[in-house]
Amino acid sequence: MPDSRVPRRRRYLVCEPRHFAVQYAINPWMHPDEPVDVIRALDQWQALVDTYRAHGHTVDSVKPVPGLPDMVFAANAAVVVDGRVFGSLFHAPERRPESVPYEAWFKTEGYEVYHPESVCEGEGDFVPAGRWILAGTGFRTTREAHAEAQEYFGVPVIGLTLVDPYFYHLDTALFVLDDELDGNIAYYPEAFSPGSREVLARLYPDAVLATREDAMAFGLNSVSDGRHVFVSPGATGLAGQLADRGYVPVPVDLSEFHKAGGGIKCCTQEIREIRS
């Protein structure tokens, strides 16, 4: 395939995992009795930040807060479309305080933040995809939040039902390869209900379909700039498929964060401004 994929510079928001730990269990990956290596987590996170910058992307950071061990998962704090910020109302009480420092950061940067009335978890379940926003439900974000987001952004929101607790957020089962109007995605079909699989097949007949092995390796918790795909090194089959389609897989090891059910995308909030 010709080398025709063109990257677009992105602006990412992250949070240093200074206080990262697994102190409670709110998904099947989390086991509080298994220790977390914070030094290793810090090294892996810094490698991700350095990799983004080496590929020309801007990276901003929110200061971590003691007592909020999952604050490193910046994607869950909000979803930003055309410079408009739709905040989060976390399902788990343990995570709800995370919204406060993220909102403060956005306000300091000059953004207004919409406060949702329904449970929603930012880019964990809202995936902007060109013409529309793909939105997950089933474990965290509610369908009522889908309606709120559509009303706020004025963008069609397409609801997708997740059925496997290991893929409790949409961003663990699907990611956007190209966010142009006619862009494409990669996803793991069995993470979705039968009806949602049909919807995805209609919308994306040429999608990259991942195996369960690659999905369980957090291969779909990836970030793409349109050419480079920052992906878990364990998702070898998926990386091969991406390369065959003309993308450039960039392996980044965030395995320490898998202990909390997170990976590359979970640690990365994209700030989407109005595109000229």
Annotated catalytic residue within 15, 91, 120, 266: 266
Provide the greatest CA pair distance for the chain.
50
pLDDT at 276: 54
Four-CA torsion 114, 116, 117, 122, nearest 10 degrees: -170
Mean pLDDT of the chain: 97
Q: Does the active-site annotation cover 266?
A: yes
* One-letter amino acid of 100: V
Q: How far apart are CA 114 and CA 68, in angstroms?
A: 22
19 is catalytic: no
Rounded CA gap, 56 and 254, in Å? 20
Q: How far apart are CA 18 and CA 238, in angstroms?
A: 31
Q: What is the pLDDT of residues 110-128, one digit of tens each?
A: 999 999 999 999 999 999 9
What does the DSSP assignment read for the chain? --S-------EEEEE--TT----S-SSTT--TTS---HHHHHHHHHHHHHHHHHTT-EEEEEPP-TT-TTTT-GGGGEEEETTEEEE-B-SSGGGGGGHHHHHHHHHHTT--EE--SS-B-GGGTEEEETTEEEEEESSSS-HHHHHHHHHHH-S-EEEEEB--GGG-SGGGTEEES--STT--EEE-GGGB-HHHHHHHHHH-TTPEEPPHHHHHTTTTS-EE-SSEEEE-TT-HHHHHHHHHTT-EEEE---GGGGGGT--TTTT-EE--PPP-
Two structure tokens written together for 166? 């290991």
Rounded to 10 degrees, what is the CA torsion of 230, 232, 238, 241?
30
pLDDT tens, residue by residue, 189-203 = 999 999 999 999 999
Tell me the two tokens of residue 235: 């998702």
Q: What's the rounded Cα separation, in Å, for the pair 135 and 123?
A: 9
pLDDT digits (tens, 9 = 90+) for 57-78: 999 999 999 999 999 999 999 9
pTM for the predicted model, two decimal places: 0.97
What confidence tens digit (pLDDT) does each residue in 23-42 have? 999 999 999 999 999 999 99
From the list 57, 146, 169, 228, the catalytic residue is 169
245 is written with which tokens? 């389609």
pLDDT above 90 covers a percentage of the chain that reads 96
Q: Are 263 and 253 in contact (CB under 8 A)?
A: no
Q: Give residue 212's identity as a one-letter amino acid code.
A: R
Q: What one-letter code names the amino acid at 252?
A: V
